[in-house]
Amino acid sequence: MLTRRVAFWTIGILVCFLLFYPFESTVTSAWLIAATNTDGHPIAGCRIEQHWEWRAIGLDRTDFATTDGSGHVMFPRRTARANLAKRVTGTVSTFSFHGPGNAKHVEFYGCDAKNQRALLGISQAGPTLMYTHQVPTVWRDASLLK
């Protein structure tokens, strides 16, 4: 028969486990991005930047990839491990006028019409997604393509 003491310690250990075990969570799903010109032809060698963050746990990362010969670049699913205590305290401490800090966020940058770094109009997490980034047919400076 369970005594109160054994039940108390069992519940305490379970609570500690739930509070401090670093569970894995998906920050953003995998993304497939296609860089094409306005005529729909693929642009190989276009540099795409992925910035992903989860403010509640202090995660802030940036990764770069270059489109292949078919104009595609694939960013893998991004995950992070954090315990429940860190998630809750981080959410409370990063809460602001703009909303809670527990939101996971991803954004992408590519080249605009003048070959400058430009925020792409995508900012959504979900299952593997594809986005087409269109840039002008004529490139004056190919320095950002590498």
Domains of the chain: residue spans and CATH: 23-145 (2.60.40.1120)
pTM: 0.70
- Asked if 51 and 62 touch (Cβ cutoff 8 Å), the reply is yes
Distance CA 107, CA 33 (A): 12
Residue 114 is encoded by which pair of tokens? 């003048």
Model pLDDT for residues 23-35, shown as the tens digit of each residue: 999 888 888 888 8
Model pLDDT for residues 33-49, shown as the tens digit of each residue: 888 777 778 888 888 89
Which residue type is seen at 120?
A: L
